[in-house]
A = this chain, B = another copy of it.
Amino acid sequence: MPETSAMPGDDLDLGTVLRALADAHRRAVMIELAADRTDGERTCHSFNLPVSKQTRTHHFRTLCDAGLLCEVDYGNKKGVRLRRAAIDRRFPGLLDLLAAESSRSTRFGQED
């Protein structure tokens, strides 16, 4: 259509993103990344998810497919990084919601 110059985040689909965030493990990853303003690169292993390696791979795959993370393959390691700018542009406030959950769970000691 008339809008031909794609902007970062245009690839993000609300339904896909919400389905990705509906899972507690993936949401925990996004909450942690949203709360960390340094936006550094991290490995899947560094998130300490209480699931098997294969399940962890599945969840990071889902987050990447939803366009929430970008990834770099190092062979025996994968660097993942939050696509903060793209997400903020497409869904303003979404990462703030997630980040707020981080301080909220440290206050109440839980995240569903």
A residues contacting B by CB (< 8 A) are 1, 13-16, 18-19, 21-22, 24, 27, 91-94, 96-98, 101, 108, 111-112
Contacts and interface: CB of A to CB of B under 8 A. Distances in A.
A14 B112 contact: yes
A53 B101 CA distance: 36
A18 B22 contact: yes
Contacts of A14: 27, 97-98, 101, 111-112
B19 A15 contact: no
A96 B98 CA distance: 16
A99 to B, nearest CB: 12
B27 A111 contact: no
